[in-house]
Amino acid sequence: MNWEKQVKQNKVLKLNNVLIREVSENELIDINKITYMMDSYVKSKGNSTMGPMINYSAVEGDENGQAKIIIKLLVQLKNPIHNIEKPYELKNQIRVTNCLFARFTEKEENIQYAY
| Residue 22 belongs to domain spanning | 16-95
Q: How far apart are CA 72 and CA 87, in angstroms?
A: 11
Q: Is residue 86 in some structural domain?
A: yes
pTM of the model: 0.74
- Tally of structural domains, the chain: 1
Q: For the segment 32-60, what is each residue's pLDDT rounded down to a tens digit?
A: 899 999 999 999 999 999 988 888 888 88
DSSP-assigned letters across all residues of 83-108? SPPTTEEEEEEEEEEEEEEE---S-G
**Residue closest to 31 by CA, chosen among 71, 77, 87, 2:** 71
CB neighbour list of residue 79: distance below 8 Å, 6 or more residues apart: 17, 47
Q: Is residue 40 in some structural domain?
A: yes
Q: Is residue 57 in some structural domain?
A: yes
Q: Is residue 35 in some structural domain?
A: yes
Q: Is residue 11 in some structural domain?
A: no
